[in-house]
Structure 1
């Protein structure tokens, strides 16, 4: 499992030894571009730290069975040698039962876990909570506790949302994992305050890693030139709408949910698209998860004037596509982050407090609250934001100045912890 001698020779390491970093909750082989955006951003950040330290990191990603094609795409885009990125299946191990009763099936993974010098866990950004059900929570929490209590290795909880924990036992398990962590970083103030309610652990607040996801600007954004458009000019304004297969009544995404929207999401989307089309905006549907594409295909059949963009294979390409729009309306948080950080006027349609907490932390108030506001209220608010989209673009650009400082803080915190190892 060790790298070959020729490759090891180029790894100078820190304090004279090479470093292997275990990655949890940041997949490479996933159809959710938001999860992939976090992985790409984390590895880009770690590569910057490695260059600064004059070393080379090896990455063991404990996400499941690796897909060489997707690993190749990631490494090509980030300029990482493929032999430095390996995937292992942690799930039989983190269950503990698998560890006790099927040791022959988990030996390889367990050996790889022991080789890691430290671990960084992102929990897919928002899955260290029980809003997606107890099974998802336990799978993620058990992996953390395995690293901390069984392997006794340093675990960094990278920028993410913490909670909510509706089940008391889940909150107790989360507390154990947080208390044992070497470093805890929240991606918003609300998460930091939430953790303070049940643990004394010091929590640093920065922001979501995906704000720094690299991309290639298409140079087609026209928000600075079309400020007060008449209806006849609206077709010059490109609007991207990210529809969510998670929120549709058809439940095209199988992820379990423990939240209830006050907004009728399907009715909201159809009314919004009807208004945009009647006002002659140039509208495209942008999927960010495979289920979004399926839902978008159904929507496009009802609205022939709406263009359905094909599903992209990596987050850098989809962010590059999103950067071409003037306005972006999205229910996938990382799709909105891609728009926001590429200079597009962004309208997040929030289904959980992860949206509100994140955007409040960067002083961006232009959010549509699907949880707590009615369909009619949200439709009117969205129309108002669309009409004032230049103001939203300016606000996003101002917020990005603060976000860039927060991202540098994340790099500093990670680097400090890595050097300690």
Structure 2
């Protein structure tokens, strides 16, 4: 993606709900930076200079970067329900609002509190009379009696709803959403990065493995919360052992959720533990931004992992990859693009997952060609989203 720097034009303030410029989850950060790039370009096309207000949870790490057109307005739960507070003031300042729902949080599977926090910002935007756009995301499911009508209500009042995969599109249609629906793809596919330097032909084959700390620890319940078919730590050790035994391979352990304070989610400390168990493996650093993480992953010759945005970083930089899915969002995003090399940790036996990864590595040249072909679809889908955003922005003239 071409990064468009702020240009001089008519001022336009864009609210970005459930984005984050300092999340420990670099996937949420990637969504944020990529969406800003897209919307900045769309605004410039229509003769506007965009100013962004990023509205999401307050996090502890430093901001990934600072820019004159990006303002951060961290929220707490109390801000969502008190009328006339800082949230209301922020919404009033916006000309229009793009809500990405953290990528996959607009659902009821996490309970009422999580659903309400993601829903109420949409409702308050609409009550304030501001145009609302749902940026590319996985939507649903909504299985509770109370969630379906509430979700349908805000989406039917949105200017348009953008899904990032075919299953979400079908779900929106079946739910009875009447707003304009566009099927795009994950915006992080287009996030900028630094391309790796050329390496010597006899250099080691760089293989990257992202280990999900959340899955390694059994989820928040620490008892296989996500219903994986096999024992994830055992599978990971088998994968590491297989690659560590190959003389041509330099294995990198790459965290993508790097949390100092929430140990159960932290990929980094699990990766550090594995690096000690398997001498010779390379522990990737704690990244300062999603762009730094994507640039590092772009230097791999093969990649696999259970954090979807780590695998998107590989995929979108042309690296052959085997995503290790534990939710429908993986199959949705990659399957919609025609890329079928996804291991399903909830349905597949660990032996089958290991074999899929081994075959993916051995046939990585063929996978690389498939990635390149699928990225043509990515470019077209992101262009369609950019066009739709530009059309909505143009209405603010």
What pairs up with 1:307-322 in 2 under 5 angstroms? 307-322=282-297
Match of 1:288 in 2: 256
Deviation (angstroms), 1:173: 2.3
Match of 1:21 in 2: 14
Residue 362 and residue 121 in structure 1: after superposition, are their counterparts in 2 closer, same or farther (change >3 A)? same
Q: Structure 1 residue 409 and structure 2 residue 384: aligned?
A: yes
Match of 2:79 in 1: 93
Match of 1:164 in 2: 141
Unaligned runs of 5+ in 1: 1-9, 226-232
User: What is the alpha-carbon distance in structure 2 between the residues aligned to residue 247 and residue 332 of structure 1?
Assistant: 10
Aligned length: 381
Deviation (angstroms), 1:364: 0.6
Deviation (angstroms), 1:115: 1.5
Q: Structure 1 residue 74 and structure 2 residue 65: aligned?
A: yes
Matched-pair contact (CA < 8 Å) for 1:60–1:88: no
Q: Structure 1 residue 110 and structure 2 residue 77: aligned?
A: no
TM-score normalised according to structure 2 size: 0.89
User: What is the alpha-carbon distance in structure 1 between the residues aligned to residue 9 and residue 134 of structure 2?
Assistant: 26
Q: 1:179-198: per-residue Cα shift (whole Å, max 9, x none)?
A: 12111000111110011111
User: What is the alpha-carbon distance in structure 2 between the residues aligned to residue 170 and residue 298 of structure 1?
Assistant: 41
Q: Structure 1 residue 340 and structure 2 residue 315: aligned?
A: yes
Matched-pair contact (CA < 8 Å) for 2:22–2:62: no
Match of 2:235 in 1: 268
TM-score normalised according to structure 1 size: 0.85
Q: 1:347-368: per-residue Cα shift (whole Å, max 9, x none)?
A: 1111111010111111111101
Match of 2:263 in 1: none
Matched-pair contact (CA < 8 Å) for 1:145–1:177: yes
Match of 1:5 in 2: none
Matched-pair contact (CA < 8 Å) for 1:157–1:183: yes
Q: 1:145-189: per-residue Cα shift (whole Å, max 9, x none)?
A: 1212x2121110000001123433223322222112111000111
Matched-pair contact (CA < 8 Å) for 1:132–1:258: no
After superposing on structure 2, the runs of 4+ consecutive aligned residues of structure 1 that deviate more than 6 Å are: 253-258
Match of 2:181 in 1: 203
Match of 2:28 in 1: 35
Q: CA RMSD in A?
A: 2.4
Residue 376 and residue 66 in structure 1: after superposition, are their counterparts in 2 closer, same or farther (change >3 A)? closer
Matched-pair contact (CA < 8 Å) for 2:211–2:306: yes
Q: Structure 1 residue 378 and structure 2 residue 353: aligned?
A: yes
Deviation (angstroms), 1:54: 2.2
Q: State the SS of the aligned residue for 1:27.
A: coil
Q: 1:103-146: per-residue Cα shift (whole Å, max 9, x none)?
A: 5xx2x332121111110001111111234443322211121112
Q: Structure 1 residue 297 and structure 2 residue 284: aligned?
A: no
User: What is the alpha-carbon distance in structure 1 between the residues aligned to residue 142 and residue 25 of structure 2?
Assistant: 23
Match of 2:371 in 1: 396
Structure of larger gyration radius = 1
User: What is the alpha-carbon distance in structure 1 between the residues aligned to residue 277 and residue 270 of structure 2?
Assistant: 11
Match of 2:132 in 1: 155
Residue 334 and residue 298 in structure 1: after superposition, are their counterparts in 2 closer, same or farther (change >3 A)? same
